[in-house]
Chain A
């Protein structure tokens, strides 16, 4: 198996860190909100995309639409998150044996 060539670096610029930290904290707020509000979104969100910004959910049929709705409502929230909501609720086994190819 060919191992990917990855480069590991550290960035110790305090100005950059503060920007990343603040964005990270805003993302955690949206994560916490989503984790606590799934019952309000389901089952309508299954098979669709949900974006969360400003601790508010935006559900749409495409990722672009969900993201646009979230960014339009909360343009200053750079901690917005987005995901596809699985259609099924069966147990998850992350063991995809597919190969990865470059295109």
Chain B
């Protein structure tokens, strides 16, 4: 299984590793959400603006809410990888501009974040990687 991401240039001019994920919406439609690939984050968290599309009525004064949803990743080999469960979602828009892909999801993959090669790859069987010396 191979899932490709991209280096997305943010508002500060810095390119950061993201994967674009297919998210079901509260109204039955689906939208595409950018997740920052953050190997140090313990949890996957949806941004506030994303959660407003996933759920109706997210808001209030809590730092975050939990939403039951599915993250669907487009695989390069055809088909999708789906991660279902309960995910945190910020309610404060200023908390993060991008949703965050934490290790609860990413630990299931080998991650390749290569700025020199302009590649973001999430790999799982039957795909793997090999380090070579030229």
- Point out residues on A near B: beta carbons under 8 Å: 1, 3-14, 16-17, 20-21, 23-24, 26-28, 31, 35-36, 38, 41-42, 45-46, 49, 63-64, 67, 78-87, 89, 92, 94-96, 98, 100-103
Interface residues of B, dominant DSSP? mixed
Q: Output the least CB separation between A77 and chain B (Å).
A: 10
Q: Output the least CB separation between A67 and chain B (Å).
A: 7
User: What band does the interface of chain B fall in when counting residues whose beta carbon is under 8 Å from A?
Assistant: 35 or more
Contact B20 A31 (CB under 8 A): yes
Contact B49 A103 (CB under 8 A): no
Cα-based distance from A87 to B53 in the complex (angstroms): 22
Contact B11 A82 (CB under 8 A): no
Q: Output the least CB separation between B56 and chain A (Å).
A: 11
Contact A42 B11 (CB under 8 A): yes
Cα-based distance from A100 to B86 in the complex (angstroms): 12
A residues in contact with B82, CB < 8 Å: 8-11
Contact B80 A20 (CB under 8 A): yes
Tell me whether B29 is interfacial, beta carbon within 8 Å.
yes
Contact A31 B6 (CB under 8 A): yes
Please provide the chain B residues from 54 to 93 with a CB less than 8 Å away from any CB of chain A in the complex. 60, 62-66, 72, 74-75, 78-88, 93
Contact B49 A84 (CB under 8 A): yes
A residues in contact with B131, CB < 8 Å: none
